[in-house]
Structure 1
Amino acid sequence: MAFILTPVMIAAGFAVATAAEPAAPRPIKLAVFPFELEDFSAAAAYTPPDDVDREQLRLSTEEARRLIAESGRYQLVDVGAARDEAAKTGKLHNCEGCEARIAAALDADQSMLGIVTRISRTDYAVTYKIRDAQSGALVDVEQTDLRAGANSAWSRGARWLIQRRLLEPPN
């Protein structure tokens, strides 16, 4: 009798333990817009963004999206369907938070905008801003500086921010 009841009791114990576990929270639907360049360098008026800059912005966006998607905490929303002109021209950093409204139209919970600020040809800041898609309120803003670096370091700055600020568990 003990041989029959022992496995049944163990199985019942696992069933009760499994049922008592809370459900995992639903991933936040996040619209990650392409990183944008904000150029405050002395040469900005004479040297517009070039193909190298655009490629480094693309790589920064790609790295951020990859890390965010792999985390399981977020579900990426396709921003390619955005019809807003600011989103298509890469000018979201100048639109006073309009990315939240665009994200809401894409059925996202939050929006994320990455900005690379060129201070000089060797000094940069990488920032992300996350907004609630319904209210437009800032949820999170983080920044890191890159000194004596080249634009090829932008994706490294984006990676550091995502890993160390957005995805790092709270203490």
Structure 2
Amino acid sequence: MRMLKWILCLSVPVLIAVPAYANTTANTTKAAVFPFDFHDAQQDGEIVPQYNPEDLRRLKLVAEELKALMTKDGKYSIIDLAPQAKAIDTASPFHQCNGCEVPIAKDAGADIAVTGYVDKVSDALLSLQIIARDANTGALTKTMSAAINGNTDELWLHGLRYLWRNRFNVEAQPK
């Protein structure tokens, strides 16, 4: 009898937790976060731009940080875009194609397509943009930009986190 009580005590929380987890997963927005684009004004006019490897590393750093923030938030689940690598390579750069990422995101099963773009004017002045589109309609759902005054990991991440807290993750206010 005593063993039966222990089994019941241990199994009840598990039974209660499973439906709650299943419900949370069902309510997440599936997001396709594409590799961020990069423009370095110092390379304008070059036939084959020689981008600074640190800038390209930071580009991946901020894209991965956005994915981590979206996942941690619990409102989003990130879609694996590895199967769409060829289509992504063909369509990019996304900041110049006016929504060409949308069919790729839709084919991947995403609800939204998220792209990012860093415009480097100099090591002292950069701009980070994030754009989200509805994967079914292509409509813009979020556009945002932050100025970054310096070229370090910390400053790029600060700009991204600012956009996350104050623009991306903010629900529309009723009018």
Instruction: Give the TM interval when normalised to the shorter protein.
Output: 0.7 to 0.9
- Structure 2 gaps of 5+ residues are 1-22
TM-score by length of 1: 0.76
Does the 8 A contact of 1:30 with 1:77 survive in 2?
yes
Taking only aligned residues, the RMSD between alpha carbons, in angstroms, comes to 2.1
**In terms of Rg, which structure is larger?**
1
Residue of structure 2 in register with 1:66 after alignment: 68
Unaligned runs of 5+ in 1: 1-22
Give matches, 1:1-171, under 5 Å.
Answer: 26-39=27-40, 41-46=41-46, 48-85=50-87, 87-88=88-89, 90-147=92-149, 149-152=150-153, 153-169=155-171
Moved over 6 A (4+): none
Question: How many pairs does the alignment contain?
Answer: 146
Partner Cα distance (2:84, 2:161) in 1:
25
Distance in 1 between the 2:158 and 2:36 partners?
A: 13
User: One-letter code of the match for 2:74?
Assistant: G
CA distance, structure 1, for counterparts of residue 28 and residue 166 of structure 2 = 19
Give the share of equivalent positions with the same residue, in percent: 28
The one-letter amino acid paired with 1:44 is D
Distance (Å, rounded) in 2 between the aligned partners of 1:137 and 1:169 = 17
**CA deviation vs aligned residue, 1:121-141 (integer Å, no higher than 9, x gap):** 321111100001111111110
Question: Given the superposition, is the C-alpha separation of residues 59 and 137 from structure 1 closer, same or farther in structure 2, using an over 3 Å criterion?
Answer: same
Instruction: Report SS of the residue matched to 2:166.
Output: helix
Q: Are the structure 2 counterparts of residues 102 and 151 from structure 1 closer, same or farther at C-alpha, using a change threshold of 3 Å?
A: farther
Kept in 2, the 8 Å contact 1:67–1:163? The answer is no
CA deviations 1:133-162 (Å, max 9, x no partner) are 111111110111112x11532222112111
Give distance in 2, aligned partners of 1:88 and 1:151. 27
- Structure whose residues are more often helix by fraction: 2
